[in-house]
Amino acid sequence: MEGLFDFIEPGEVVLSSQDAMFSYANHPLVHFYENKGLGSSFMPSNMLQASLYSALKEFPLLLGHVRDGPGGQAKVVVDKHDLNLPEFVESESSIHFQSLKDAQFEWSAWPRGVATVGPITTPNKHGTVKLLNVHVVRLRDNSGLVLFCNIPHIILDGFG
């Protein structure tokens, strides 16, 4: 997260009515990575987090808050003094990467709880809609990991 604040410019994006039509749908992305070398330093947490914050410098809209805009339209407000930092969760699974591969990554073979949010965008327990959720699931014997990322659809089309 070092230096992130230096790159954030305040701003807001007012969303069109078309953007708002899809604003409550989540867009999940799931990626599977195999640790072929079985090294213990496979995708360390600090590297993943540093990469995330480096990428956020290029996509600061993901650090904004959804607010009411003019005429009832939604808007995304980015304020470097009130950033909406992503949810970043890690967990471990008893499932081996090879089991997922053998199942051709069929959804039913995935570890439980990969998706940390549902299909509908809702505020968290603090009343905040996170614009980026990340869940890293480390697979048995350090055989690989599952990377779940979720972005509300409002952000994907959110340029009015």
Q: Kindly give, in sequence order, each residue whose CB lies less than 8 Å from that of residue 36, ignoring residues fewer than 6 positions away.
A: none
Q: Are 30 and 146 in contact (CB under 8 A)?
A: yes
Over residues 90-134, the pLDDT tens digits come to 999 999 999 999 999 999 999 999 999 999 888 888 889 999 999
Give this prediction's pTM. 0.89
Could you report the per-residue pLDDT of 35-79, keeping only the tens digit for each?
998 688 899 999 999 999 999 998 899 999 988 777 777 888 999
DSSP 8-class letter at 7: H
